[in-house]
Amino acid sequence: MTLTAARAPLRRGRTCGAYADVRDHSRRLAEPLSDADATVQSMPDASPAKWHLAHTTWFFETMILKPHLPGYREFSPVFGYLFNSYYETLGARHPRPKRGMLTRPALDEIMAYRAHVDEAMERLLSGDPSAEVETLAELGRHHEQQHQELLLTDILHLFAQSPVRPAYREAGPALASEGAAPEAAWLGFEGGVVEIGHDGDGFAYDCEGPRHRALIEPFRIADRLVTNGEWLAFMADGGYRSPLLWLADGWAQVGAEGWSAPLHWEQTDGVWRVMTLNGLQPVDPDAPVAHVSYFEADAFAAWSDKRLPTEQEWEHAVRVSGAEPPVDVGDPLARLRPRPAGEGAGLKQAFGEVWQWTRSPFSPYPRFRPAPGAVGEYNGKFMCGPFVLRGSSLATPPGHARASYRNFFLPDKRWQFSGLRLAEDA
């Protein structure tokens, strides 16, 4: 028996276990929700929780089971139309802005759909899956983790529209301020040619490569994220009323949308509160600011006489400093709002609090080529217009963050857990 053959059962066992863990996490995320909670769509950019649960299941069914499991029985012929997202090569789909109109199928039927696909996936992965199946299963797991984060941010946006401000999960006593944020320090980095992109060790999306060389000029970057307290100072100094701070499209957005504070903030009797997954909470001045757009982040940087880092600067600083995503996160649902930076030297809050806007547009790396077929639509088709965010947020599932990860959103979007850290030329 070859070494490869001897390791195959262990590899298949890990594949099945990893699949089961990801699917179970989605189930846990849905547990606090009623059928109504999971059905309503709060805006065209968001999707109902029920749709996220079904779409991720459709991905496994369509990309893996139908072409690779002989005799697989499709759960429902209409689900392909209902739960395709943007895969043009796979046919017509229900319009995204109308996903909240899908009162049927009910949440119970969606969970039955998930069980049906899970049983078939277990049979396929417990056999002797091909390398292609294993690769697609890994992509499907990470795809579902992306939707787990979207599910939480979309539920937060939905609950923020309710006058009763319901909590996804009730706050505990530990959600009080965890202490004052330390003064920001500036970490200096020499310029030069550096390696950027995924190194090939473990999973990565296609847009994280190919690994390539980039020229970086000397720069300094803040050791922690911008806080709510600093954002309050920006607001008090007329930050949302000073057109010279803003990009032209950003200033137009301020006027059109009436922006005067981050999304989910509201002021009552002179006190600022923020809607969180734990319900309406006082704004913690020492915690990182969240729910700001690229336009707002760029305006704050201009007000601070600084700038946003490029994504290459961010990745280089994280790699040189040795910052890593937390390994032991405990209960990933135990903490549902950002927390202040701790004391100590070095780069802080690189992962696990808020995604960090960079000044870099989401564009292809040198030598990038989309994968053939439908999976090639995953990232490459969006490389026009969005800006890159780096790191991860408190809603990012365990095991889904890495230094090379390139999140991306259009510059006016702010319903995600998006914040910033500052940089400057050295």
pLDDT at residue 3 in the model: 30
Beta-strand relationship, 265-268 and 186-189: unpaired
Same domain, residue pair 213 and 362: yes
Check which CATH number belongs to the domain holding 292 and give it.
Answer: 3.90.1580.10
Same domain, residue pair 144 and 209: no
CA-CA distance, 122 to 27, in Å (whole number)?
17
Sign of CA dihedral 139, 25, 394, 202: negative
Let me know if residue 235 belongs to a domain: yes
Number of domains in the chain: 2
Let me know if residue 150 belongs to a domain: yes
Let me know if residue 89 belongs to a domain: yes
Same domain, residue pair 185 and 156: no
Same domain, residue pair 197 and 147: no
Cα distances from 110 to residues 20, 90, 94, 249, 307, in angstroms, run 17, 21, 16, 40, 45
Same domain, residue pair 241 and 306: yes
Look up the pTM and report it.
Answer: 0.93
pLDDT at residue 291 in the model: 98
Let me know if residue 261 belongs to a domain: yes
Q: Which residues contact 127 (CB under 8 A, 6 or more apart)?
A: 12
Let me know if residue 347 belongs to a domain: yes
In terms of residues, how long is the chain?
426
Q: Which domain holds residue 130?
A: 3-160
Tell me: the pLDDT tens digits for 90-100?
889 999 999 99
Same domain, residue pair 286 and 397: yes
DSSP assignment of 43-102: STTS--HHHHHHHHHHHHIIIIIHHHSTTPPPS-TTHHHHH--S-GGG-----GGGGGG-
Same domain, residue pair 127 and 201: no
Same domain, residue pair 263 and 371: yes
Let me know if residue 330 belongs to a domain: yes
pLDDT at residue 377 in the model: 65
Same domain, residue pair 308 and 338: yes
What is the CB neighbour count within 10 angstroms for residue 9? 11
Same domain, residue pair 405 and 266: yes
Local mean pLDDT, 10-residue blocks, the chain (426 residues): 35 77 95 97 98 98 97 96 89 94 96 97 93 94 97 98 93 57 94 96 94 98 98 98 98 98 96 96 96 98 98 98 79 78 91 97 94 72 93 94 97 98 97
Which one of 126, 160, 194 terminates a domain?
160
pLDDT at residue 380 in the model: 75
Give me Rg for the CA atoms of the chain.
Answer: 22
Which residue in 244, 255, 346 sits closest to 305, CA to CA? 244
What is the CB neighbour count within 10 angstroms for residue 92? 9
